[in-house]
Amino acid sequence: MSWVDIGALDAVPERGARLVKTQMGCVAVFRTGHEEVFAASNTCPHKGGPLAEGIVHGQSVTCPLHNWVFDLNTGEAKGEDGRIDTYPVRVEAGRILIDARTLAARSAA
Ligand code: FES
């Protein structure tokens, strides 16, 4: 893994999300709990809804357009045929770090 800093944990509201621009493209960063974050594609595979504007609940996000629900651990849509890319992230000293290699590999794919 190759961790890069993509911003402060405090920039993402608890039970909320932010779209973060990185050198390898935009990712949606979701904060589900005090120090728990997930990163995934911002684009819903159904009709392109902006997932960073979705509703975060538990370890899932609901797309704001037509309410598809994605598991942020696996990226799988619940009860639908679709998935989003997810990226390894971790929190260290109040900063969010993402695995740049996974991000680069998926954005190049
Ligand atoms: S675009 Fe996300 S559910 Fe339709």
Ligand 1 pocket residue status of 69, Cβ below 6 Å: no
What's residue 106's pLDDT?
77
In this prediction, residue 7 has a pLDDT band, given cuts at 50, 70 and 90, of: very high
Q: How far away, in angstroms, is 22 Cα from ligand 1 center?
A: 24
Looking only at the bridges linking them, the beta strands covering 60-62 and 55-57 are antiparallel
Which atom of ligand 1 has the smallest separation from the CA of 49? 1
- Longest CA–CA span in the chain (Å) reads 38
pLDDT on residue 24: 83
Substitution site in 43, 47, 53, 55 for ligand 1 pocket (most atoms within 8 Å of beta carbon): 47
**Amino acid at the residue 22:** T
pLDDT at 95 over 70: yes
Distance CA 96, CA 109 (A): 24
| Average confidence (pLDDT) over 37-60 | 97
pLDDT greater than 80 at residue 92: yes
Query: What's the pTM value of the predicted model, to 2 decimals?
Result: 0.94
Task: Report the chain's mean pLDDT, rounded to a whole number.
Answer: 94
